[in-house]
């Protein structure tokens, strides 16, 4: 379908446009704040910054011009967060340059539930600078005003949306624009290019653009190529960056093919492969706790650590995603990306510097050092499962094969536990156990470093292992379990927990997408997996995927279902972790 502009006729002569359209952008005016500014003054500063007012939407009565041609950008005015001095103080230095964010697949589920609320939250907190616009691109025919209504309703309905300040929605809708067309045709990319042209004046003469691919994976390559054909990857007039959602490939070969296709147009420094787990505050705190405190790093090795457990449990079933899940399965959906990134951050060596390349270098070294899992080893180091009927919080739920849209007799795994071993000096002999699954008792993600027992048991009753646990979600925080004497006449030890929770900061945690979108706009790639990271992660799971191939006549035939909904997975997972150890009950 060729891109159209609805009922409005296309005006091709730009010189015919009224010269007076659009107001001249106002220059930012900010109060000067001394180094001794109090938190109260910081809040007043954020609230008082004036950066210009967006141009109102064109009048519907002017039918001789298309909405795209009648737009002349003026900077949007960011909202002010007067109730969160922590976020204002910490993030004011991270405001990006003026830019346009282009979201392909803007009417999809991810954009509606996650992206639009995250962008709105950043804008309302004054973190997107003085000039920012959003161009939604989709295949659904829609006018600008219809898209604005759609986006505002999405913000009002989403649980992810921050508390809405009075008047914010009205101002935010002025930043929204829409183009539609088929992603395989050049016409839609031509319209996107014209949007960047029109934003140039309000953006200080630059055409900075962040292209977000919130689409099915099959469209990654066509959109990348389309942007390249129309010259939209060229950075001569401003930076251009491409954000790609998971899954990045279906297996090792397809991931390499996709990387090669993208690199035909884009330099690796322009590509941001997003994994929202890396935007979670506690994941980032893993590095801070480990490398910022002298008491932890000396113990972070085979001399003191018995094993490490990484758990990402989900209590939900398919939630209408049977088509996707039947193709992907738990290994592609969770293990290859989310859990592999948590594993790499936990096991990496200290980076030479806290910058993107140094950190990603160390993560890649860990993934490269993982002991290979060929077909012959899969049965010894990996367990799969599929949930059957059970109950969640006292409510009966169907098994996977009874879910709408699931093929009869499906062999798709909904649970995986795997034992990884690292062939390097630090971790030789220390197993890392990773597990993830659906319809487990609760939604929780945790990294637990389990230490060895004291070498001599001089106290009655024996000793439990110390555990340093990072709670990624929910109840974000860090806890340390150790033994202490119970009050009384006798020497009796009991386990106690020293607990830190993020709500101690008195600040609302940003959503992972807020953090990662801001990083991408700024150009900080620290929390985005690099090409070689993705490649090595696929290499690690390739043997597992081959052994568990769900195609008829391929792979091993599993005895599914093998765990009931509402339990912690199949019994074989307990055998995997080995004698003298047990999975943490979270």
Measured distance between the N- and C-terminal CA atoms of the chain, rounded to whole angstroms:
51
- Cβ proximity of 100 and 196 under 8 Å: yes
**Cβ neighbours around 92 below 10 Å, total:** 17
For residue 60, pLDDT beyond 60? no
Domain count, the chain: 2
Same domain, 328 and 440: yes
The answer to whether the predicted template modeling score (pTM) of the entire model surpasses 0.95 is no
Same domain, 199 and 335: no
Question: Would you say residue 79 lies in a domain?
Answer: yes
Q: Work out the average pLDDT over 279-293.
A: 87
Question: Would you say residue 368 lies in a domain?
Answer: yes
Same domain, 177 and 291: no
Q: Which of 276, 307, 338, 536 is catalytic?
A: 338
Question: Would you say residue 126 lies in a domain?
Answer: yes
Q: What is the pLDDT of residues 65-93, one digit of tens each?
A: 333 334 444 444 444 444 444 444 444 55
Q: Work out the average pLDDT over 161-174.
A: 86
Provide the pLDDT confidence category of residue 188 given band limits of 50, 70 and 90: very high
Question: Would you say residue 403 lies in a domain?
Answer: yes
Residues 386 and 561: their CA atoms lie apart, in Å, by: 5
Question: Would you say residue 256 lies in a domain?
Answer: no
Which CB contacts under 8 angstroms, 24+ apart, belong to 42-45?
A: 42/85, 42/88, 42/89, 43/81, 43/82, 43/83, 43/85, 43/88, 45/88
Q: What is the pLDDT of residues 450-497, one digit of tens each?
A: 999 887 767 766 678 889 999 988 888 899 988 787 787 777 777 878
Beta strands in 181-304 (DSSP E): 209-213, 240-244, 271-273
- Cβ proximity of 413 and 384 under 8 Å: yes
Question: Would you say residue 499 lies in a domain?
Answer: no
The half-sphere exposure of 361 on its side-chain side, counting CA atoms within 13 A, is 9
Same domain, 329 and 444: yes
Beta strand 477-485 with 395-397 is: unpaired
SS3 417: strand
Question: Would you say residue 567 lies in a domain?
Answer: yes
Same domain, 158 and 287: no
**Cβ neighbours around 57 below 10 Å, total:** 16
Residues 508 and 86: their CA atoms lie apart, in Å, by: 9
In the block, tokens 């943490």 appear at: 584
For residue 6, pLDDT beyond 60? no
Residues 151 and 172: their CA atoms lie apart, in Å, by: 10
- Six-digit token string for 376: 């012959």
Domain boundary among 198, 214, 230: 214
Output DSSP code: residue 29: B
Same domain, 418 and 536: yes
Angle ∠(573,556,552) on CA atoms, nearest 5: 135
- Six-digit token string for 161: 């949306």
Residues 550 and 54: their CA atoms lie apart, in Å, by: 53
> Which CATH number is 550's domain given?
3.30.360.10
For residue 131, pLDDT beyond 80? yes
Domain boundary among 214, 247, 270: 214
Domain boundary among 181, 214, 247: 214
* Residue 338 annotated among the catalytic residues of the structure: yes
In the block, tokens 């309905």 appear at: 157
Average pLDDT of the chain is 82
The half-sphere exposure of 448 on its side-chain side, counting CA atoms within 13 A, is 23
Same domain, 205 and 289: no
> What pLDDT sits at residue 551?
66
Q: Which of 480, 500, 427, 490 minimizes the C-alpha distance to 460?
A: 490
Q: Is 22 left (phi over 0), alpha (psi -120 to 50) or beta?
A: left
For residue 118, pLDDT beyond 80? yes
Expressed as residue numbers, the domain containing 180 is 39-214
Q: Work out the average pLDDT over 275-284.
A: 87
């Amino acid at each position: 379908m060729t891109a159209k502009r609805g009922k409005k006729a296309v005006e091709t002569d730009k010189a015919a446009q009224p010269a007076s359209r659009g107001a001249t952008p106002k220059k930012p005016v900010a109060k000067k704040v001394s180094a001794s500014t109090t938190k109260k003054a910081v809040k007043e500063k954020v609230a008082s910054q004036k950066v210009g007012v967006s141009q109102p939407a064109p009048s519907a009565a002017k039918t001789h011009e298309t909405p795209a041609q009648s737009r002349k950008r003026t900077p949007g005015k960011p909202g002010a967060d007067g109730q969160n001095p922590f976020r204002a103080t910490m993030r004011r230095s991270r405001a990006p340059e003026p830019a346009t964010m282009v979201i392909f697949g803007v009417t999809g589920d991810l954009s509606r539930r996650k992206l639009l609320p995250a962008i709105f939250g950043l804008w309302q907190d004054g973190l997107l600078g003085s000039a920012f616009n959003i161009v939604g691109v989709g295949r659904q025919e829609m006018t600008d005003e219809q898209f604005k209504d759609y986006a505002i309703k999405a913000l009002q309905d989403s649980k992810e949306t921050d508390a809405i300040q009075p008047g914010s929605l009205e101002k935010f809708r002025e930043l929204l624009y829409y183009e539609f067309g088929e992603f395989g045709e050049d016409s839609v990319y031509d319209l996107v290019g014209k949007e960047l042209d029109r934003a140039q004046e309000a953006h200080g003469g630059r055409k900075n653009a962040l292209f977000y691919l919130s689409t099915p994976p099959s469209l990654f390559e066509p959109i990348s190529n389309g942007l390249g054909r129309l010259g939209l990857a060229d950075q001569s007039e401003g930076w251009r960056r491409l954000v790609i959602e998971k899954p990045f490939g279906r297996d090792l070969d397809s991931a390499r093919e996709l990387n090669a296709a993208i690199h035909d147009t884009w330099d690796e420094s322009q590509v941001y492969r997003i994994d929202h787990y890396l935007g979670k505050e506690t994941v980032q705190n893993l590095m801070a706790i480990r490398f910022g405190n002298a008491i932890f790093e000396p113990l972070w090795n085979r001399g003191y650590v018995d094993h490490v457990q990484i758990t990402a449990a989900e209590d939900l079933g398919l939630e209408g995603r049977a088509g996707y899940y039947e193709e992907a399965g738990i290994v592609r959906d969770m293990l290859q990306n989310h859990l592999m990134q948590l594993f790499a951050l936990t096991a990496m060596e200290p980076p030479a510097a806290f910058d993107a390349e140094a950190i990603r270098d160390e993560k890649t070294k860990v993934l490269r050092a993982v002991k290979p899992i060929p077909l012959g080893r899969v049965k010894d180091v990996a367990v799969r499962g599929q949930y059957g009927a059970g109950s969640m919080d006292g409510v009966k739920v169907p098994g996977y094969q009874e879910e709408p849209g699931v093929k009869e007799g499906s062999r798709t795994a909904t649970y995986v536990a795997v034992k990884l071993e690292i062939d390097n000096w630090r971790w030789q002999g220390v197993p890392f156990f990773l597990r993830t699954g659906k319809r487990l008792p609760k939604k929780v993600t945790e990294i637990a470093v389990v230490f060895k027992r004291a070498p001599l048991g001089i106290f009655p009753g024996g000793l439990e292992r110390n555990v340093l646990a990072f709670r990624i979600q929910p109840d974000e925080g860090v806890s340390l379990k150790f033994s202490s004497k119970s009050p009384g006449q006798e020497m009796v030890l009991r386990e106690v927990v020293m607990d830190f929770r993020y709500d101690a900061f008195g600040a609302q945690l940003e959503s992972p997408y807020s953090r990662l979108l801001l990083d991408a706009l700024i150009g900080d790639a620290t929390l985005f997996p690099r090409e070689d990271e993705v490649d090595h992660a696929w290499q690690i799971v390739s043997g597992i995927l081959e052994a568990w191939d769900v195609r008829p006549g391929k792979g091993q035939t599993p005895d599914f279902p093998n765990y009931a909904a509402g339990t912690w997975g199949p019994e074989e997972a307990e055998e995997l972790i080995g004698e003298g150890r047990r999975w943490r009950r979270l």
